[in-house]
Amino acid sequence: MCVLAIALVGNAPRDAHAAVGELAARTLPAASTLGGARASSALRFAWLRDGDARLWTFDAAAEPGAPGAGAPLPPTLDTQLGSVWKLFVYAYLVDRRIPAPDYQCDGGDREEVYCCMTGGHIDRDRALVQSCGLFFEPHRLQLDPAGWRQYWRALKAPAWLQDLYALRPERRVRVDDLLKALQAVPARARDDTASTLVSVVTSGRGEGTVLLYGSLLRAKTWTMPDPSNPGGYAGGAAGWLADGTPVWLGGRGGSVRVLAAAAPRIAPLVEQSAVPDDRACVIVDFFSRYPIRNVIETRAGGRPAQPGLLDGSFSVGFENGNWLPIESHGELLLDRDESGKPRIVGRFGMNDYVARVVEREGDTAQPQAARALAVAARSYLVQNAGRERGCYRIDDSSRTQRVLPRAPRAASRNAADFTDGLVLAGVPVQFHHDKAATGQMSWLDAKAAAQRGLTFDAILARTWPQATLTAFTSPLAGDCEPVAGARDWLGREAPVWARRLAGEAGYEEPELPAVCEVTTGRPYADAGRNRVYIRRLRSDDDRIALAHEYLHLAFAHHPRGQDEAFIEQTARKLILTGS
């Protein structure tokens, strides 16, 4: 996938070195970026929590261990600002409600290739996720330096942030000052920015690391030339955890490599983030298909429960004669419907609701499958629930989603929290216990896939390859624009190719991928998201390009999958000779 250039702001000339460095850092072998020396393999992670700035230093070449309590963050530790300047411009636009017109790619700037194709355009949110610096140039946005300075000064932000035209990628800032600057971002702007940044790990510069961080890390990636290693690169990320804790990460190599190398070391720290459960609420009409006869308090000798909020253990008696134990600590309300019959209504935070669905509809024996189910359940809710008094409202029913009438276990809540806010956008979402279909995930199939080693995002991609994995509060959606007729054509041709290629070493017929329109760079295949990207499907050359990228998926687990000559020759044979 083509990388995106870093643009310098202000009147200074823009510099594509950082973008080229990102590409090089993602393709060089590990030894080239780590340099062999122990010092070069250091990963540094810092946060600012409760006024205490802490630093953890890890050896990327060593086995991960317990991260410990860290050390006080030294004021001498500094970092290049890199692409993080765009985060502050984005937050300013959001908080001040400043209109930001799309950037139009007219072919007049060589760096447009990193934003959109000639004739296309890119909006504010995609520009942040894709790190399109041309979009955020202050002159283009007509930002007022005096207004900028007044805004950040009122928030007691560090002096360097108050100077609009000092926000250059190569600027070095103290890490403790960068954390303070992130903390200075007002809560509403921070939440909106963080919701967009969730897409960095699903489809942006950190694509592929969502399996490591879930949605707990909401950060802007950065990659810059490393002055201590001529010809090498340094990278990392800066932003917030799910609870708003400012964080910074840095190491040698490109941002994606640093994010991946850091994940097993900082995961215990990231997962300490107490995920708020107040971003959305869900009202549930329990037992909507089973009329209730009465509700009794199990610890009060069978005394009938009084209408109002329920607190304790209860038994629900149904008209069909069945009984069901429930528990509530104020989240369930006993009421009466229009006909005077008892009814129970629950009110939950979004993650509490999702965790209850995970435990009721599935289990947590395979954590990756549970996380996939959490995303599917949240997606179904957002797509199908009604709205009432600012909350989603949905029935507890096998026709919708069944909801646990007691507090979920910690493992179920972990599945919901790890995927906090994540939904599948752009496609209808359904799931079933044991029946898979187009657009419908089988829970048993998901568990089997997790047992084979698939991560939650890969499990989701098997059923919904065209979906965009993003936050339900994010304006981003639909990062796969289908190429007209391409998937149907591929669906007809793939079984024919499978018969012809069955004897080829390394061939494995893949799940039918989504065929998306490439927006930057050349056609490519994305095995992790079960997608291929091409420009169009009009000519034999286009069909060869689609067959070429499909073959990369078909030979993904064999060295032949990286042999461009073999892949191209085979694609041409399939299209031009039919053999």
- pTM, two decimal places: 0.77
Q: What is the pLDDT of residues 165-218, one digit of tens each?
A: 889 999 999 999 999 999 999 998 999 899 889 888 887 767 778 888 999 999
Distance CA 344, CA 356 (A): 16
Q: What is the pLDDT of residue 310?
A: 95
Is pLDDT of 380 > 50?
Answer: yes
Q: What is the pLDDT of residue 298?
A: 87
Instruction: Provide the mean pLDDT of the chain.
Output: 87
For 335, the enclosing helix (H) or strand (E) is strand 323-336
Q: Which residue has the higher pLDDT, 64 or 240?
A: 240
């008892």: which residue's tokens? 342
Mean pLDDT of 37-59: 85
> Which stretches of 60-104 are assigned E, i.e. beta strand?
71-72, 78-80, 103-104
Q: What is the pLDDT of residue 12?
A: 30
Mean pLDDT of 132-158: 95
Q: What is the pLDDT of residues 240-261, one digit of tens each?
A: 999 999 999 999 999 989 998 9
Q: What is the pLDDT of residue 56?
A: 96
In contact, 551 and 572? CB cutoff 8 Å: no
What are the residue ranges spanned by the domains of the chain? 37-99+141-270, 281-348, 349-471, 486-577
Q: Measured in whole angstroms, how far is the alpha carbon of residue 476 from the centre of its chain? A: 11
Is pLDDT of 221 > 80?
Answer: yes
Is pLDDT of 278 > 80?
Answer: no
State the alpha helices, DSSP H only, in 97-186.
Answer: 124-130, 138-141, 145-154, 159-162, 175-184
Is pLDDT of 426 > 90?
Answer: no
Is pLDDT of 329 > 70?
Answer: yes
Is pLDDT of 75 > 60?
Answer: yes
Residues sharing a CB contact under 8 Å with residue 68, sequence separation 6 or more, in sequence order = 56
Q: What is the pLDDT of residue 109?
A: 86
Q: What is the pLDDT of residue 33?
A: 32
Q: What is the pLDDT of residue 386?
A: 87
Mean pLDDT of 220-249: 93
- Per CATH, the architecture of 486-577 is what? 2-Layer Sandwich (3.30)
Of the candidates 245, 272, 248, the one whose C-alpha atom is nearest the C-alpha of residue 51 is: 245
In contact, 443 and 436? CB cutoff 8 Å: no
Q: Which residue has the higher pLDDT, 29 or 565?
A: 565
Q: What is the pLDDT of residue 396?
A: 95
What is the CATH superfamily name and number for domain 37-99+141-270?
DD-peptidase/beta-lactamase superfamily (3.40.710.10)
Mean pLDDT of 45-64: 92
Report residue 507 as tokens: 């061939």
Please tell me the least confidently modeled range out of 155-164, 350-359, 388-397. Answer: 388-397
Cβ atoms within 10 Å of 367's Cβ, excluding its own: 15
Which 8-state DSSP code applies to residue 575? Answer: I
